[in-house]
Amino acid sequence: QEPQASGLPEYIKIVEVGPRDGLQNEKVIVPTDIKIELINQLSKTGLPAIEVTSFVSSKWVPQMADHKEVMRGIKRHPGVQYPVLTPNLQGFHSAIAAGATEVSVFGAASESFSKMNINCSIEESIERFEEVTKSARNMNIPVRGYVSCALGCPYEGNVVPDKVAEVSKRLYSMGCYEISLGDTIGVGTPGSMKKMLEAVMKEIPLSALAVHCHDTYGQALANILTAVQMGVAVVDSSVAGLGGCPYAKGATGNVATEDVIYMLNGLGINTGVNLCAVMEAGNFICTALNKRTNSKVAQASFSTATIN
Amino acid sequence: ASGAYPKRVKVVEVGPRDGLQNEKNLVPTPVKINLINMLSETGLQVIEATSFVSPKWVPQMADHTEVLQGIKKSPGISYPVLTPNLRGFQAAVAAGAKEVSIFGAASELFTQKNINCSIEESLERFEEVMRAAKEASIPVRGYVSCVLGCPYEGKISAAKVAEVSKKMYSMGCYEISLGDTIGVGTPGSMREMLAAVMKEVPVGALAVHCHDTYGQALANILVALQMGVSVVDASVAGLGGCPYAQGASGNVATEDLVYMLNGLGIHTGVDLQKLMDTGTFICNALSRKTNSKVSQASCRL
Answer whether B218 sits within 8 Å of A221, measured CB to CB. Answer: yes
Amino acid at B219: A
CA atoms within 13 A on the CB side of B196: 18
Distance CA A143, CA A176 (A): 5
Q: How far apart are CA B79 and CA B191, in angstroms?
A: 30
Lateral strand order in the sheet of B140-145: B46-47, B10-13, B231-234, B206-210, B175-180, B140-145, B100-105, B81-82, B50-51
The parent domain of residue A92 ranges over 13-302
A276 catalytic? Reply is no
List the single residue in B219, B297, B299 with the smallest CB-CB distance to A222.
B219
CATH number of domain containing B215? 3.20.20.70
CB-based contact B215 A259, cutoff 8 Å: yes
Out of A251, A297, A307, whose CB is closest to B215?
A297
Are residues B238 and B17 in contact, defined by beta-carbon separation less than 8 angstroms? no
Half-sphere exposure of B137 (CA within 13 A, CB side): 0
Rounded distance between C-alpha atoms, residue A161 and residue B260, angstroms: 18
| Chain A residue whose CA is closest to B241 | A300
Q: Where are the beta strands (DSSP E) in chain B?
A: 10-13, 46-47, 50-51, 81-82, 100-105, 140-145, 175-180, 206-210, 231-234
Distance of alpha carbon B244 from alpha carbon B155, whole angstroms: 15
Could you tell me the CATH number of the domain that includes residue A112? 3.20.20.70
Domain-located, residue B91: yes
In a domain, B3, yes or no: no
Tell me what ipTM this predicted complex has: 0.94
- Cβ atoms within 10 Å, residue A142: 16
**Among B201, B77, B83, residue whose Cα is nearest residue B131:** B83
Q: Give me the half-sphere count of Cα atoms (radius 13 Å) on the Cβ side of residue A57.
A: 6
Buried/exposed code over A289-305 (b: 16+ C-beta within 10 A; e: otherwise): beeebbbbbbbbbbbbe
Which residue of B222, B256, B299 is in closest CB contact with A247? B299
* DSSP conformation class of B117: S
Diameter of chain A measured on Cα atoms = 57
CA A277 vs CA A282, B76, B136: distances in Å: 9, 52, 57
Question: Does residue A175 lie within any of the structural domains?
Answer: yes
Closest CA to B140 of B123, B158, B159: B123
Q: Is residue B131 part of a domain?
A: yes
Rounded to whole angstroms, how far apart are CA atoms B2 and B204?
A: 19
* A271 contacts on B by Cβ (under 8 Å): none
Give the residue numbers spanning the domain of B227: 10-294
Q: pLDDT (tens digit, 9 = 90+) per residue, B155-165?
A: 999 999 999 99
Residue A45, in any domain of the structure:
yes
Closest approach of A240 to chain B, Cα-based (Å): 12
Average pLDDT over residues B46-72: 95
Residues of chain B in contact with residue A250, where contact means CB-CB under 8 angstroms, are: 296, 298
Closest CA of chain B from A192, distance in Å: 7
CB-CB neighbours of B94 under 10 Å: 12
| Any domain includes A1 | no
CA-closest candidate to residue B218, choices B178, B240, B175, B251: B251
In chain B, whose CA is at the least distance from the CA of A301?
Answer: B245
pTM, two decimal places: 0.96
Name the DSSP letter for residue B4.
P
Min Cα separation B5/chain A (Å): 10
DSSP 8-class letter at A157: B
Which residues of chain A does B247 touch, with a Cβ-Cβ cutoff of 8 Å?
A: 299, 303
Q: What is the pLDDT along chain A (308 residues), one digit of tens a residue?
A: 556 667 899 999 999 999 999 999 888 889 999 999 999 999 999 999 999 999 998 888 899 999 999 999 999 999 999 999 999 999 999 999 999 999 999 999 999 999 998 889 999 999 999 999 999 999 999 999 999 999 999 999 999 999 999 999 999 999 999 999 999 999 999 999 999 999 999 999 999 999 999 999 999 999 999 999 999 999 999 999 999 887 777 778 999 999 999 999 999 999 999 999 999 999 999 999 999 999 999 999 976 654 44
Among B180, B186, B147, B198, smallest CA distance to B249 is for B180
Residue to substitute from A189, A213, A215, interface B, most B β-carbons within 10 A: A189
CB-CB under 8 Å, B248 with A299: yes
Please count the structural domains in chain B: 1
SS3 state at A306 = helix
**Would you call A267 and B187 a contact, using CB atoms and an 8 Å cutoff?**
yes
Chain A interface, best mutation among B150, B184, B186, by max A CB count within 10 A: B186
In chain A, how many domains are there?
Answer: 1
Contact A263 B219 (CB under 8 A): yes
